[in-house]
Structure 1
Amino acid sequence: MTSPETLHLVCPHCHGTNRVRAADLDSAPDCGHCHRPLVTGAPVALDGTTFDKHVGRSHLPVVVDFWAPWCGPCRQMAPGFAQAAQALAPQVQLAKLDTEAHPEIAGRYQIRSIPTMIVFRAGREVARVSGALPPGEIVRWVRSVL
């Protein structure tokens, strides 16, 4: 069990779950498993195995960009999504899920158009938006729903 001052963070590299004091979040904590940074300020690529770990175990909100390689607006939004990841770190983790490679997860969340971004908190969907957004709008939208 974690205390209110302790957070669970899922490593973006090895996907192990770590306990981190909330006060240490801004101090660039390292993973206890792989010893790499827990907060990178970059989107994490998720797959069928790692999706549930990041969305369900992390105490940080996770914003998932549901996208596909053939989607022009998705590719156009990708650099802005990466900029938004930097702006929102370390309080929010941004992630990407390729809907073509992992249609079972896209189906679970009834993704009908891409790009679609969903904000998850404690494993539950908090909000979603479809369509490509510039980085400033992504940051404003995420902050407005959290």
Structure 2
Amino acid sequence: MTLPLPAAAEQHVVCTLAVDVETNETLIGDGSCNQRISSASTFKIAISLMAFDSGIFTASDQPEWPFQEGYADWNPKWSQSTTPETWMRDSVVWFSQRATEKMGAGLPFGDDGKLLKGQPFDWYVGWAEKENRTVALPSSFASANART
């Protein structure tokens, strides 16, 4: 029996965005940047950069976090200890969740220094600085109208 080949997926830019932090000017706004979407698996790159920058990840094999009952496990490869390297290779959802929790990513802090889990901020990928200009690279917008 011969199975038909799957149809090719259409490729398109979902959103590429760069914003000047000082002026709030949109420098690049390609795609549907005013719609909320899931960042899907590609956001592991941003998570890894933030985790290495914050010292949570220290090497491709550190930290090694153990799998625990209750973590996402619909892929059998996820039910084991995981490192940054195996996380990237196997797309381990629970490792992404633990890394973002440890960074407090997307969550503001209250006056007492504790995370305000009921009041998330929007995600951002990072920023770039050159001369006297700082540019933010958000991944999605909570209020796109404020930036246009």
Please state which band the TM-score falls in when normalised by the shorter chain.
under 0.3
TM-score of the superposition, structure 2-length normalised? Answer: 0.23
TM-score of the superposition, structure 1-length normalised? Answer: 0.23
Name the structure where helix makes up a greater proportion of residues: 1
Name the structure where strand makes up a greater proportion of residues: 1
